[in-house]
Structure 1
Amino acid sequence: MTAVEALAEFAVTQRRTPLTADVRHAAVRAVVDWVSATVPGSETPAARALTEALAPTSGPARLIPSGRAADVRTAALLNGTAAHAAELDDIYRDAFYHPGAPTVAAAFAVADQLDSSGMDFLRAVTIGYEIGARIALAVGPAHYRNWHTTGTVGTFGAAAAAAELLRLDADRFAGALALAATMAAGLQQTFRSPSTGKPLHAGHAAEAGVVAALAAGKGLAGALDVLEGPAGFGVATAGVTDLTVTGLGDPFCVTATTVKYHACCGHTFAAVDAALELRADGVGVDDIADIEIETYGTATRVAGRTDPREPDEARFSLAYTVAAALVLGSVRLRAFTPEALTDPAIRGLVTRTTVRIDPELDELTPGRRAARVRITDRNGVSYERLRLTRRGDPDDPLSDQELRDKFDELVPPFLGPSRAGTLAHALWNLPSLARMSALDWR
């Protein structure tokens, strides 16, 4: 049995067993968090440009949050892009992977087309998270050296979610995953250089996954050894010659995701958390002479920008996000407005910040994402804070109330309090939703 056949067999076998209460609740949280990211993301320049370029007008699926009609492929593409555009979407920490953006976007599009129940939708989300995250773990950190896992592996998560909703049998489910592999894409250079293209990775993954599942359902066949074959996904993208997928459902990966607490690259989070703790302890911005950030190597490579000028650059700058945390007290959407990007206090701190790799913290990755922030004041006194994990990680999770607070901060400014409140109630009650068409986005 090949890897995609084993994954498909697992998914189809799971249909015999109801989701446990904890897995079901985790899937609901994932969807609530996805909407919290997608609503503001839909108004970013990247998402708006793509929507204007495609100008969808009809179809059985819907764009979020407008409710505008679109065909299933376009809905997956645009919603997946929006979900990743504001850098607020969830993370599967151990695999350098954002599972929600592509997976939930694909599930929403196909569930709209089929008018699925809320429970069928949540099962699809759960299976998509599981298969995507397990493949991401199998290719390991080597894959993330050059590839953006959300764009590549996200295609598998999206295909799995769509295949589950379509109720594909094991053979065609495996075919969907095999086809997904050959359409997977997403290069890290897109966000290492000035660009607004990174969110497209998640959108493309959602769309490609949907196409793979729909095509497999009609008999289009993929190469079943595409993951572990000598010219397959593992070898080509990570140099992994013995790719195996293990640990399925033990536990379900949807129960172990990181919910983002800040609107920026997750590699900055530990440093931002440390800076916020120092600020809470009374370290004053006006007294800061210099800032030192010590963290793991991937964080310095991906988020090492020293002079960011645009929002998408600032979200990938340890120096900027730490400075914004110290000046503003949070790193949410406000931190990436033109006013914040040109704030003299923030810019001044950025110029006085040094970022370096700490070998001991580097050894902790990927299981821990740690950072140390050291601030020296004008009198030569130093203040230091070490964060061995990030707020929102599985070992320091956000509560349901904190997740509701995130939704309430991010969604009402775009939808209005009444519409946002109605939507929140419906999302938290997805298990009892009889038909997805009853979920009103208008």
Structure 2
Amino acid sequence: MSGNPLTILAQAAEAWQTRPLTDAVEHDTRRAVLDWFAALLPGCAEGPALALSRALATERGAGEAASYVEGQRVCARHAALMNGTASHTVEFDDIFRDGGYHPGSPTIAAALAVAQAEGASAEAFHRAVIGGYEVGCRIAMALQPSHYRNWHITATVGTMGAAVSTAMLKGCNAEQIAHAIAISSSFAGGHQENLQGEGQTKPMHCGHAADAGVLAGLAAAEGVTGSPGSLDAAHGYAAATSDGTGNWEAGLAGLGDWTPISHMTFKNHGCCGHIFPTLDGIRAMQVKQPFGPEDVERIEVSGYGPTVSICDRMDVNTARDARFSVQYCTAALLHLGGVRLAAFTPEALNRADLRAFMSRVSVTEDAEIAAAYPVKRQARLKIILKSGQALEQFQPTRKGDPDDPLTDAELFEKYDELAREVLPPETADDLRKIIMTSDVLPGLLAVTPVRRSIA
């Protein structure tokens, strides 16, 4: 597709203001919103969003947007910041596999805050989410895989997705949406050290992306402009953060034929997605031949680049470390039967049997699997049992990916488990019904704090 990618993407977003919504796309959008709430709610009760709330106690502003962290109505930017941070805290947010990008945390946080502030309809909100996903996911494809070497793509591109959703809800035309994207590209940051290293900054990447995207969208709606070459010029965003000026042929492929919100991965495990093929492979092996942790001598995991560079992690001191450790998550799967919230409680983190098992797991890179990344997320596993028997498994995909999706029932089960951590069952049920079947926006909720560290 020829032409300025900024203009093309902005026109695609504008088209979502009026083009017919098929039942399938609307349903996919409702699933994405439900999954966002599933990831959001536990992060409202603990984690860095609570400290951020204290830090900004005098700066919430007046408005109609719901900060679920604080249980208050606030200005849209503050709600986007708080909810964006909370929704990336427990690592359950959605993935656009082909871009290595989590669009939901920044995009839906921004879109819902602005929709509530503007008194928008549920349909307008859904359209803004679809448009934000359309643009963000396609920019991610154009920047990857080199962008991810130094940049946290959800923090960076998420700013642009949030800007698009905001501009759409403000009634912007394609020219104004393009300016919103251009403006947001100057706000888009978040580096890999604060993803891979110590600390609690990573969830704030998404909060900042949502907040900065709202700022860009509001500015564009009032006439502020940005450079038309912000994405692909010699000194534009792609050139500054990836190899070259962007693979726009890949990013724009299929535009108008398919939309990213219908190609999402919904997480089935509460950890880094690069660990999923390992966990799914082990489960598949246990179905073929049942075994427990006491039967295992060692496990050899072969994966792609980030499987090693990000998730080969023996030094686990916090729940955040554990969520990025193949060794810990493997031990938790075998000892606890799953890698959900219970795997990251202080009690689980301090279990001597899990810690001892971690040393039995080794991680290496497989050249063939690495070459297929990022479109394919695979693993090759070899498990040596204490009996001497060797079990092998090639895991070609991940449960939750578009080619092996969570059913509605499985997604509802995930939502129920996470939402009921902090909401009464009847409130969680009512919220699910509103999201999946209603024509009104979700409203304000009172979230109950829990006592569990998710640093």
Matches within 5 A, 1:96-115: 96-115=100-119
1-structure distance, mates of 2:376, 2:61:
45
Equivalent residue in structure 1 for 2:190, among 156, 167, 186: 186
Corresponding residue SS for 1:384 = strand
2-structure distance, mates of 1:242, 1:51:
37
Shift in Å at residue 57 of structure 1? 6.3
Question: 2:56 is matched with which residue?
Answer: 54
Question: 1:238 is matched with which residue?
Answer: 242
Report the RMSD for the aligned CA atoms in angstroms. 1.5
Aligned residues: 438
Equivalent residue in structure 2 for 1:13, among 12, 15, 21: 15
2-structure distance, mates of 1:59, 1:125:
21
Question: 1:353 is matched with which residue?
Answer: 361
Question: 1:380 is matched with which residue?
Answer: 388
Listed one character per residue, the Cα deviations across residues 38-70 of structure 1 (whole Å, up to 9, x for unaligned) are: 001222321211122112364221112654122
> Larger deviation: 46-55 or 258-267?
46-55
Question: 2:415 is matched with which residue?
Answer: 407
Matches within 5 A, 1:240-389: 240-241=244-245, 243-244=247-248, 245-246=251-252, 247-280=254-287, 281-389=289-397
Shift in Å at residue 242 of structure 1? 5.3
2-structure distance, mates of 1:306, 1:189:
17
Q: TM-score w.r.t. structure 2 length? A: 0.93
1-structure distance, mates of 2:256, 2:269:
29
Corresponding residue SS for 1:392 = coil
Is 1:420 the counterpart of 2:428? The answer is yes
Listed one character per residue, the Cα deviations across residues 217-250 of structure 1 (whole Å, up to 9, x for unaligned) are: 1111111111011110111100223552413232
Listed one character per residue, the Cα deviations across residues 135-167 of structure 1 (whole Å, up to 9, x for unaligned) are: 011112011111111000011110111111111
Equivalent residue in structure 2 for 1:391, among 399, 404, 410: 399
1-structure distance, mates of 2:61, 2:73:
6
Question: Match of 2:13, as an amino acid?
Answer: A
Matches within 5 A, 1:64-143: 64=68, 67-143=71-147
Listed one character per residue, the Cα deviations across residues 256-294 of structure 1 (whole Å, up to 9, x for unaligned) are: 010000000000000011122334431121121111111
- CA contact 1:276–1:330 (8 Å) conserved in 2: no
Question: Match of 1:297, as an amino acid?
Answer: G
Shift in Å at residue 375 of structure 1? 1.7
Listed one character per residue, the Cα deviations across residues 387-429 of structure 1 (whole Å, up to 9, x for unaligned) are: 1100000000000111111111110121111111111111112
Listed one character per residue, the Cα deviations across residues 285-305 of structure 1 (whole Å, up to 9, x for unaligned) are: 112111111111122111111
2-structure distance, mates of 1:211, 1:224:
18
- CA contact 1:259–1:392 (8 Å) conserved in 2: yes
Corresponding residue SS for 2:34 = helix
Q: TM-score w.r.t. structure 1 length? A: 0.96
> Larger deviation: 254-263 or 168-177?
168-177
1-structure distance, mates of 2:240, 2:172:
28
- CA contact 1:130–1:249 (8 Å) conserved in 2: no
Corresponding residue SS for 1:144 = helix
Question: Match of 2:100, as an amino acid?
Answer: F
2-structure distance, mates of 1:410, 1:224:
42
2-structure distance, mates of 1:240, 1:377:
47
Hey, which bits of structure 1, 4+ residues long, moved more than 4 A? none
2-structure distance, mates of 1:134, 1:228:
13
Is 1:211 the counterpart of 2:199? The answer is no
Question: Match of 2:29, as an amino acid?
Answer: A
2-structure distance, mates of 1:73, 1:313:
30
Aligned-residue identity in percent: 42
Question: 1:174 is matched with which residue?
Answer: 178
2-structure distance, mates of 1:372, 1:326:
18
Question: Match of 2:11, as an amino acid?
Answer: E
Corresponding residue SS for 2:302 = strand
Equivalent residue in structure 2 for 1:3, among 2, 5, 19: 5
Shift in Å at residue 360 of structure 1? 1.6
Corresponding residue SS for 1:290 = strand
